[in-house]
Amino acid sequence: MNNTALATDSGFDVYGVRRDFPVLARVLRGKPLAYLDNGASAQRPNAVIDAVDDYERRHHSNIHRGVHTLSQEATGLYEAARDRLVRFVNAGSRHELIFVRGTTEAINLVAQSYARPLLGSGDEILITHLEHHANIVPWQLVCEQTGAKLVVAPIDEHGEVHVEAVEALMNERTRLFACAHVSNALGTVLPVKRLVAAAKSRGIVTLVDGAQAVPHVAVDVQDLGCDFYCFSGHKLFGPTGIGVLYGREAILERMPPWQGGGDMILAVTFAKTTYNSLPYKFEAGTPNISGAIGLGAAVQYLDGMDLAGAHAHEHALLAYATASLSKIDDLRIVGTARTKASLVSFVVEGVHPHDLGTILDEDAIAIRTGHHCAMPVMDFFRVPATARASFAFYNTFEEIDRLSAAVQRARSIFA
């Protein structure tokens, strides 16, 4: 394939974009870094690094507290970041956008604050077979606490979730349906809008884990119609330790606070505490201020780029990687859904993924190997682990060529 032609065809200035991400210039063992582990964590552009740096150097203070200048500046920056994220996912209002540590915390918040008080013995929570552990374990915990039952909707041999199969498991006992928007282990894009509609028509509350989706698809929570949507900042080119929980205001209003402390209260006496309004009711304690500002900067950066071009480029990368890897003997792609985000999970006969990861690392190619915190998915495909190359818009066709060559090299070592 003529790489240059393909890169030009997608009309996206990948080499220009790469200059925005300083880490991509790193050279390891004499070879340029090929960072293909974006599903685990994406890299940060200068815009994010600079925003965090500027905050730390000039504006840091606690928020929502002081009358002094720095506190007002920090509060302004933090709340401006919230407003950017409100627009990014098209939430109905800033009351619906809660800053959390990440997707995991968001799901635990919903499990403990929404589901736990509501559930009883005989109630059911419905998830799918391809969920990340973060969208399994919080529900298992709340099931143990309440006597509710966790029900798992099947996937097919391509790693697809079928709406009818999920609908068949929805009944009058189903109190909540939670699913990934995009599978982290397989890349499958789930038909979330239809799944949410199916749940809604039965009065079932819905949560969508968007951790793997927000970097790859435009998300409009009002269009999806879900009650909760969550994602992590660091997979969206922002800092670690910051993420977002979107919740419909009517539901958030009814929920008790998850954690108690500062910022989530209006008035405290030893007799009674009056909770603060949304979203602060769910933001107890001093939050990750610089993280929120960094995430706001990441979203601002994305707003300023050719996102349609970026997504088209990612799709071209996915198609090219799928075609290139498929040509390698004894290589099997795990997860062959018709609609996928730009990641390829695979196994190579005779080469354990862990060995593959080490051999690729010698060529300065970073991929993820292991069970991807999705052990039920590994069990379904009867593999202990896979290798996963996950792409961002700053990846190139040359990097995929290097990936393919390194996989061939690994095969020759173990031949």
The residues annotated with a catalytic role in the active site are 373
In a 10 Å sphere around its CB, with 0-12 CB exposed, 13-18 middle and 19+ buried, how is residue 338 labelled? exposed
- By CB under 8 A, is residue 243 in contact with another protein? no
- Per CB under 8 A, 388 contacts another protein: no
- Look at residues 138, 238, 189, 240 and name the one whose alpha carbon lies nearest to residue 343: 189
User: What secondary structure, in 3-state letters, does 213-261 show?
Assistant: CCCCCCCCHHHHCCCEEEEECHHHCCCCCCEEEEECHHHHHHCCCCCCC
The answer to whether residue 387 forms part of the interface with another protein (CB under 8 A) is: no
Q: Where are the beta strands (DSSP E) in 79-186?
A: 97-100, 124-128, 149-153, 174-180
Alpha-carbon dihedral 26, 27, 32, 33, rounded to 10 degrees: -50
Report which DSSP code applies to 95: G
Judged by CB under 8 A, does residue 330 bind another protein? no
* Cβ atoms of 371 and 246 closer than 8 Å: no
Q: Which window, 87-95, 258-266, 269-277, 346-354, contacts another protein (CB under 8 A)?
A: 346-354
Please select the residue that binds another protein; options are 239, 291, 294, 370, rule is CB under 8 A.
370
| CB nearer to another protein: pick between 268 and 413 | 413
Pairing of strands 205-209, 228-232: parallel
Which of the stretches 2-10, 270-278, 315-323, 347-355 binds another protein when contact is defined by CB under 8 A? 347-355
Locus of tokens 């793997």: 212
Report whether 96 contacts 241 (CB < 8 A): no
DSSP state of 306: -
Contact yes or no for 165/368 (Cβ under 8 A): no
Half-sphere exposure for 58 (CA within 13 Å, toward CB): 8
Element (H, E) at 208: strand 205-209
Contact between 263 and another protein per CB under 8 A: no
375 touching another protein, by CB under 8 A = yes
Q: Which residue in the set 65, 144, 354, 398 belongs to the binding site for another protein (CB under 8 A)?
A: 354
Could you say which of 77, 378, 387, 403 contacts another protein (CB under 8 A)?
A: 378
CB 412 to another protein: min, Å? 11
**Can residue 7 be called a binding residue for another protein (CB under 8 A)?**
no
CA separation for the pair 341, 9 (Å, rounded): 20
Residue type, 223: D
The Cα–Cα gap between 321 and 315 comes to 10
Least spacing, CB of residue 152 vs another protein, in Å: 20
384 near another protein, judged by CB under 8 A: yes
Residue 351 CB, nearest approach to another protein (Å): 8
CA–CA gap between residue 125 and residue 150 (Å, rounded): 5
Q: Rule CB under 8 A: is residue 132 a binding residue for another protein?
A: no
User: Least distance from C-beta 140 to another protein, angstroms?
Assistant: 17
CB of 133 to another protein, least distance (A): 11
x/- map, 172-191, another protein, by CB under 8 A: --------------------
Q: Is residue 137 part of the contact set for another protein (CB under 8 A)?
A: no
Residue 216 lies near another protein (rule: CB under 8 A): no
Among 20, 167, 249, 355, binds another protein (CB under 8 A): 355
Considering only 50, 172, 349, 362, the residue that binds another protein (CB under 8 A) is 362
Q: Closest CB to another protein among 275 and 381?
A: 381
* Residues present in the chain in total: 415
* Per CB under 8 A, 68 contacts another protein: no
Q: Smallest distance, Å, CB 415 to another protein?
A: 9
Q: Which is nearer to another protein, 131 or 160 (CB)?
A: 131
Q: Is 26 in the site for another protein (CB under 8 A)?
A: no
* Residue 359 engages another protein in binding (rule: CB under 8 A): yes
Q: Which amino acid is at 383?
A: V
What are the structure tokens assigned to 191, written together?
A: 């038909």
Among 30, 190, 177, 130, which residue's Cα sits nearest to residue 373?
Answer: 130
Residue 155 or 385: the one with the smaller Cβ distance to another protein is 385
- Only segment of 39-47, 205-213, 221-229, 369-377 that touches another protein (CB under 8 A): 369-377
Report the interface residues with another protein, using CB under 8 A.
Answer: 29, 352-355, 358-359, 362, 369-371, 375, 378, 384-385, 413-414
